Amino acid sequence: MRKTFSLAILFLLSLTLFAQKAKDIPAFGKVEKTDLEMKECDFDKKAEALVLFDVAELSCTFVGEEAYIELDRHIRIKILRDKGLDQANIHIRYLTTQRQNIRNLTAQTFNLDAAGNIVVSKLEKKLVYEKKINKHWSEEVFTFPEVKPGSVIEYKYSMTGAGLEEWYFQRSIPVRLSRYTIDFPTEFDIYCQPVSSLRVETSKETRNQSYINKYTMRNIPALRDEPYISCENDYLQRLEPRLIAINTPLRRINLVPSWPQVIKNLMEDEDFGVQLKKEIPRTADLDEQLKKIAHPFEKMTTIYNYVRKNMEWDGISSIWAMNGVKAAWKDKKGTDGEINLILVNLLKDAGLIAHPILLSSRENGRIMSNIPGISQFDKVMAQVKINNKTYILDGTEKYTPSTLIPEKVMFSEGLVIEKLDTYQWGWTELWDDKQLHKNVTVLSASISADGKMSGEASIYSYDYARLSRVSAIKKDKEKYIEEYFTSKNQGLTIDSILIENEDQDSVPLLHKIIFNQPVTASGEYQYFSLNMFSGLEQNPFVADTRFSDVFFGTNQQYSIIGTFIIPEGYSFETLPKNLRMIMPDTSISITRQMAARENTLSVRINLDFKRPFYSVGEYAEFREFYKQLFALLSEQIVFRKKA
């Protein structure tokens, strides 16, 4: 959740919108039969559904000296396949704390009957319900009736008290037409920045002391889920409008805040800065533990572990302590903002140098440090400095050790508030090239004369590799084994698996696996792969093109160390060559070494990634290297019976 300082907070809000419908947008209820007969999207053949149009107009009018704002929106969607049916489930979110309100909501479904007639199914008002998310946000929720592949669904509504927010032209399904219109008095100076690699049609006119700006995009392909994308919203074609000033007869009022102004407002806010000055009631058990500790690092870790163990996160991501840190501490439950502001308070009370650090998680998107504003942040964590070393702590992270930057904010930047009373602040980079996603796989296997491989695997997972696996194990162990091992290794049977160090975050997670698997035979030849249990069994980068950057988030290391014994009386054919392959920019390298002695093969493969990020402009070269990399990892070891 974000605490949005929208334009609406400036005004008393109501009134209807005086909208003029564009000629290329059909009136509500006027559906074309060709749209109902449509079988596929002509510019995106894979589409499961298609937005026929999504149009909105944000209008501001004056009544006397008061300004009233309203958003009027009309959306029509074509359902093409069963997988597109979820487009019929609608959630319209609004801010209750800024007196936003949804009204005039109307929705209906269009189908063709057996005779080719258009049948309309209207949404009953009793099937629309309000869902309260928290004390700031609510949703209007409904599902369209009688929806099936071939249906066209449409709805419209008005939102009073709407603010200037980002407009997304692009979605996860293709969009035939998307338009955003701003109809505001000339007194308001609004800057609109299209963030788009595709063409945006723009029209501007002035009428009756108002300017009307229209921004339109057509035939926008879907942005589908791509492997290793950081935040989908960062890559969607969009419009970013901002109110920068109001011109009055006497003067121009600048509304673009500076970072110092933003920080000052934040520190005076009841839900943030005031909470940092609250005294958290002492607890005897924590005080008793701290009495025995002199070293600052041990103090920090003890407090961090205490908060992780005793506080329950309620699932709400926010920088705000909406119910107050004292209430959250008493209930032992709260938002991540409440938990981490408590953590900062406890660390400071223990005499440690601790500050709140504002962050944006991967899911929330990149911070634009050149555009001051609190709404960019969705996380607050604790920054602690001990002997020139900096630690970032998140009290909701059950499996992340104090020495590891939380993965959701690794390779990002944060805003640190260093002095609460004087509002001193600064930016810091969250990055450590020594904190890795690291897996080491040690294999020992033998192959019988009937072509069955039996062996043991020891898999050591460090840092972020450990985190992702422990989280999956705790959630569903059986599903984890299927996802990480059996589904990726064809024919593999796991006879037993022992997992160690699940609850010891200072050591690597260890899997000990007893397995068997048939080797592949073709005539007199038999062969097998060395790439087992590594986590690199499938190439995720096979698409020819890509919309988003490749974001690993961390550096990576993989090692495969193996000993393989073939039956007596068999010999290895020509082995794959020992080699070292390096990407042109040297950021990825793989080394393979192997040697055979009689019927025993020894192998070592090391793969290093020294960059966490590759831009979309580098994708062609990156994809080609990955293709060669996986061809190398997929090379087979061939053996046969001696003549």
Integer Cα distance of 187 and 129 in angstroms = 38
Residue 376 has phi, psi (to 5 degrees) of -75, -20
What is the SS3 assignment for 395-442? CCCCCCCCCCCCHHHCCEEEEEEEECCCCEEEEEEECCCCCEEEEEEE
Task: Give the per-residue pLDDT at 509.
Answer: 98
What dotted CATH number matches 436-641?
Answer: 2.60.120.1130
pTM: 0.88
Integer Cα distance of 303 and 300 in angstroms = 5
Q: What is the mean pLDDT of residues 622-638?
A: 96
Both tokens assigned to 624: 């080609």
pLDDT digits (tens, 9 = 90+) for 565-614: 999 999 999 999 999 999 999 999 999 999 999 999 999 999 999 999 99
Integer Cα distance of 452 and 454 in angstroms = 6
Q: With a cut of 90, say whether residue 331 has pLDDT above it.
A: yes
DSSP string across 279-331 = PPPP-HHHHHHHHT--SHHHHHHHHHHHHHHH-EE-S---SS-TT-HHHHHHH
Sign of CA dihedral 59, 63, 67, 68: negative
Integer Cα distance of 572 and 638 in angstroms = 6
Confidence band for 137, pLDDT divided at 50, 70 and 90: confident
Tokens 């209430």 -> residue: 327
Residue of 627, 614, 626 whose CA lies nearest to 548: 614
The kind and range of the H/E element at 632 are helix 619-633
pLDDT digits (tens, 9 = 90+) for 471-504: 999 999 999 999 999 888 888 999 999 999 999 9
Q: What is the mean pLDDT of residues 281-300?
A: 93
In CATH terms, the fold of domain 260-430 is C8orf32 fold (3.10.620)
Domain ranges of the chain: 7-254, 260-430, 436-641
Both tokens assigned to 68: 């009233």
- Residue 596 CB coordination number (10 Å): 17
β-bridge mates for residue 390, sequence order:
385
Which one has a higher pLDDT value, 375 or 136? 375
Task: Give the per-residue pLDDT at 467.
Answer: 96
Q: With a cut of 80, say whether residue 559 has pLDDT above it.
A: yes
**How many CA atoms lie within 13 Å of 476's alpha carbon, on the beta-carbon side?**
6
pLDDT digits (tens, 9 = 90+) for 57-73: 999 887 777 778 899 99
In CATH terms, the fold of domain 7-254 is Immunoglobulin-like (2.60.40)
Q: What is the bridge-based pairing of β-strands 509-518 and 452-462? A: antiparallel
Both tokens assigned to 387: 């002997």
Task: Give the per-residue pLDDT at 17.
Answer: 34
Sheet of 118-122, strands arranged across: 118-122, 101-112, 152-160, 66-79, 49-63, 175-185, 210-220, 201-207
Question: Considering the chain, what is the average pLDDT of its residues?
Answer: 92
